[in-house]
Structure formats: structure tokens, C-alpha cells
Structure 1
Amino acid sequence: MSAPASAVKIFAIAAIALSAASCATAQKSTGLAQTTSTGAAQLNLKKGQYLSVTISEAKTSEEAVKARLNYYRTGYPLGAQYGLRQETSLSVVSAIISDYKPTGVLFFSYPDKQSADGLAANPDWEAVKATRPDIWNELKIFSAETTEDLAIKFDPEKSYTLVVAWKKDEDPDGYEKYLSGIEPAVARAGGRFIYKMYNPQLESNDASEPAPAQLTFVEWDDLDGFSRVQATEEYKASVPFFQSGVSKIEFYRMSVRQ
């Protein structure tokens, strides 16, 4: 959504799209074409590390592919000097509510925010960043310091959702009230809140885009978990908090790379 949508419209779209996405997910799997991470899908960070969550839609022209390879060849070694590390990645199975169609969610880390700031200040890095619009139709990097140790193991048998939320200034607490209100229903439906990133910094192809207030990751035992949540009294009672507190969301369903 290029402009903030009403919460009623958001929920109508989400309900329809979730049903369709559940059917589609049962029939296919989606891979990441632009990452090379290996091993188990885990996210293990210490308190105070700096985490970046990257969501992107890559261009597919021959020129863009060459530019992307050059970006990795020059950018990764430069970033490694400041402790930049790719931790893991998830495949985006369905962009339920989004202006673009990313294929994956990538997790990167730095030892601390000072290390990330050091890379950002490097003039060679600025030249690498300048090529991003030639490579990605859309690129969003959400970053924040970890406030506690993280030990997340992504299970290939589970489903994952990510909501990126922009809050309304008039009710900054509404979204958290909504999440707290539905949490018992989420648990009964086989869901768990596994990570929330608050007030991240945003890097985007659109430098004028405001940063969201929160990223919320949920692990589900099956594809229909959130649909069951939507049928509960807790959910219905909590929707007004969402309506008063949220101006815009992006909503993704994800899975572990196969």
C-alpha cells in the first residue's frame, strides 16, 4: 500500500489473502535465489548486537544480475571488516499485504551499533550502496540493537509470519494492546511470538519513506493458525486497538529454505 490504508480494509485483505496463501503454500515451495547461507536456520545473538532484517525484490535483467554479483563481491568483504555477518534467511512464500514481491527475508548482524555506524561512514561503502536501485526494485533494511539474547531455531515443519507495522501518532500504544489482547488466542492456535523489533532504523530505495514502529515475527504450527485466531472473541475484542493504533502494515508468510 503506497498510502496508509484503513484498518478495516487491511483486515479484509488479510482474511482473503491468508486463505489463498494457505492453499498455494500447500502446493509449492519458494526458494531464495540470492543468498548462500548454509547450515541450520538459526538466529543466535547476544544482547547489544545490531541486527538487520533485509526484505527485497530483485531486478532480473542481465545488467541487474551482474550489478548484484558485483555488489556482493565488493560489499561483503568491506562489511566483514566491521563484523557484518549473514546469520540466516527465510523464504517468502506469500506477500499477503505488500507493495512489492520479495523472495526472502535475510538476517544480518554486527557486533554492535558502533560497528554498523563505522561501515556506514566508510566512503567506499557509500559507493556500494549507491548501486542498490540498479539491483533491486525494492530494498528495505530494518535495523535495531538487540535488547536481550536471541536464540531462535527456525523449524522447516513450521510456518512463519512477519508483520511490519507503522503506528498512528494519535494512539501509539494501540498496536501493542492489540498484540497483547490476541496472544492467548495465538497460543491456542499453535502460534508463538518469537521476536519483536521496536523502532528500527530503515534503509530503503525511497529515502523519504518513514521507518515503521515495529516488526513482529510469529511461529505457527500450521498454515491456518492466524485464520483460527481471527475467529476468536479475543481477536474481535482487540481489533479496535489495531484500528486506532495502526496506519499501515506489510504482512508476509515465510518458511525455512529447503
Structure 2
Amino acid sequence: MTNHRSALTLISTFTIAMAMPSYSLVAQPSSSQESEAANPRLTVAKGQYLSIIMPEEKEDGDAARQVYYRQAFPLGQKFGLKRETQLKMDSIEFSNYKPTGLVFFSYPDQESEKQLTSQPEWPAIKAQRPEAWNELRIYSAAMREDLNLSFDPAKYYSLVVAWTNPDKPEDYQRYLSGIEKAVHSAGGRFIYKMKNPKMEAHATSLNAPSQLTFVEWDAPNGFAKVQKTEDYKASAPYFRSGVTKVEFYYMSVNGKS
């Protein structure tokens, strides 16, 4: 437990450091996707089912990925599966997992996703994932309210994936509430929190996280500014007591490496 707490404390010292390769879940982007990249949007309505895909590609898995795309996407589209947008991974601040990108997909509702996965051909398609990816993590949840985001190429985006402490589940929310004013003062804003998502993964036995939290920043050192504030110092103990595991990533529209 001592090593774990020390690791959690280290998160407060990290800055953007390691550039990652760009990633597109669609093999050949269309002209509309190329246009979207200039000013991507994520627009989903209350009741829709949102999936956030974070893949770690196999170096020799390109052929397997193409086969998977050709089979999975046409079937998914029959049930309303839609690629929304993506962000490029700039750095992995705190994580043993090394995703090569982040892509948003949506379904009309959760029942549509269930209909897709109940199709007789789906298990064979899904079984191909280990040939294409070292890991393919998918976080999904029904939308509790409308979400309309425009991702700005001039901004920076962070994602924290948190597994809360079951003995003190409220402490992590206390931490987030406690630093919100400091985040705003540092040029940041919370833009989306996916709570209690369902998680799919073929190479890990991890339980699903408790929350994914996205923040938009005006500058790459926004969180470093937050850490210097009294609000952060007062709230940090709730972070340490409120989570058992955490991952921290930075992303952007076009890549800021």
C-alpha cells in the first residue's frame, strides 16, 4: 500500500513529456472526416449510448485490423453505430497502459449496442481483436444529458481514468469539487464526466473504472498551475484517500508533440 500511495503522489509532479503516434480507427479517412479534423465535434443526446475506445495497436496487426474493420463496422452500422470523432494522444502522464489514441463512437441507445453484440456472427468478429491490438479498452455509458462539445485545435485536453476507493467513494468527488475553482483560474474547464462505465478489454482483468473525467485547457501547463494553489493542496488528501488506481493522459486535435 505504501508503494501505491507513493505512486499516486507522483502524479502531481508530471508534465507533458512523451509524444505518442497518431491513431485513426478508420483505415481510410473520408473527405468529411478530414474536414472534421479541423474542428471536430462530439454531439450526443440524452439516452444515446457513448463508447470511448482506447486501443494499443500491435505493430504487426495492421492486416488483422483491416479485416476487423471490414466486418465489424458494416454490422455495427445496421444498429446505428456511428463514429463521432477522435483525439490524438500527446502524452501518457501516469499509466502502465499505452493506448495509441482515443476515439468516440455512439449508438442510438444501449439496446442498439445489445442488439449488435447478440448477433450470431459477433463473437467470431470480436475474437479477432487480440490479433489486431495488444489491448482494446472500450468504456461505454448511457448519456444522462445532452452533450455538445467542439474540440478546439488550439486547446489541450486531459483525461483521468479513476478507480475509486470503495471504502471512501465520496472522497474523489470532494477532490474534484475542491479543485474546480483552481482549474477555472488556470484556464481549464471540466467538459465531460463518464460515471460508472461498462468496460470491455481482452488482455486485462481490471474491473471497470468509476469515472472518466475530461478537462479542456488553454495551455499545456494548466494542471501544473492548479497544483500550486491552496485549493489543490487542501483537496489533494481526498485524492489520495479516494482512489485505488488512476491513469492520466493528455490529448489534442492535431497532436502537439
Matched, 1:45 2:44: yes
Would the aligned equivalents of 1:87 and 1:108 in 2 still touch at CA under 8 Å? yes
**Alignment check: 8 A CA contact 1:167 1:248 kept:** yes
**How far 1:184 moved relative to its partner?**
0.3
Cα distance between partner residues in 2 of 1:81 and 1:5: 48
1:6 and 2:8 are equivalent in the alignment:
no
Other-structure match for 1:166: 163
Q: Are 1:32 and 1:257, in contact at CA under 8 Å, matched by a contact in 2?
A: no
Q: Which residue of 1 aligns with 2:22?
A: 31
Aligned partner of 2:134: which letter? Answer: N
- TM-score, structure 2 normalization: 0.91
8 A contact 2:52–2:139 mirrored in 1: yes
Does residue 75 of structure 2 align to residue 78 of structure 1? yes
1:194/1:218 contact within 8 Å kept: yes
**What residue is the counterpart of 1:236 in the other structure?**
233
Q: Distance in 1 between matches of 2:223 and 2:24?
A: 28
Q: Distance in 2 between matches of 1:184 and 1:99?
A: 30
> Who is 1:210 aligned against?
207
Q: Identify the residue that residue 255 of structure 1 maps to in structure 2.
A: 252
Q: What CA deviation, in whole Å up to 9, does each residue of 1:204-248 have, x standing for no partner?
A: 013632000000000000000000000111101101111111000
| 2:55 is aligned with 1:56 | yes
Q: 1:201 touches 1:211 (CA, 8 Å); kept in 2?
A: yes
Identity of aligned residues (%): 49
CA contact (8 A) 1:6 1:243 kept: no
CA shift at 1:33, angstroms?
4.8
CA distance in 2, matches of 1:115, 1:5: 43
Question: Which secondary structure does the structure 1 equivalent of 2:47 belong to?
Answer: coil
Q: What pairs up with 1:170-189 in 2 under 5 angstroms?
A: 170-189=167-186
TM-aligned CA distance change 1:152 to 1:33, over 3 Å: closer
2:181 corresponds to which letter in structure 1?
Answer: P
Q: TM-score, normalised by structure 1?
A: 0.91
Equivalent position SS for 1:6:
helix
Residue 4 of structure 1 contacts residue 248 of structure 1 at CA under 8 Å; is this kept in 2? no
Counterpart AA for 2:215:
V
Q: Residue 243 of structure 1 aligns to a residue in which SS?
A: helix
Given that 1:8 and 1:243 are in contact with CA atoms closer than 8 Å, whether structure 2 keeps it comes out as: no
1:48 and 1:146 in contact (8 A); partners too: yes
SS of the counterpart of 1:67?
A: helix
Quote the offset at 1:10 in angstroms: 2.0
CA gap of 1:5–1:89, structure 2 versus 1, over 3 A, is farther
CA deviation string 1:147-181 (max 9, x = no partner): 00001000000000000000111001111110000
Please state whether the residue corresponding to 2:121 is helix, strand or coil.
helix
Structure 2 gaps of 5+ residues are none
Equivalents in 1 of 2:8, 2:55: separation in Å?
Answer: 22
Aligned amino acid, residue 193 of structure 1: F
Structure 1 moving runs of 4+ over 6 Å: none
Partner of residue 109, structure 1: 106
Deviates more, 1:198-207 or 1:148-157: 198-207
What is the number of equivalent residue pairs in this alignment?
A: 247
The range that moved more, 207-216 or 31-40, is 31-40
Distance 1:32 1:207 in 2: 21
Gaps of 5+ in 1: none
C-alpha contact (below 8 Å) 2:156/2:250 kept by paired residues: yes
Amino acid at match of 1:156: P
**Which residue of the partner structure matches residue 126 of structure 1?**
123
Q: Judge conservation of contact 2:8–2:240 (CA < 8 Å) in 1.
A: no
Alpha-carbon deviations, 1:9-68, whole Å to 9, x = none?
Answer: 2231x24431x52xx66xxx852254334313110011000000000110011xx11110
- Secondary structure, aligned partner of 2:64: helix
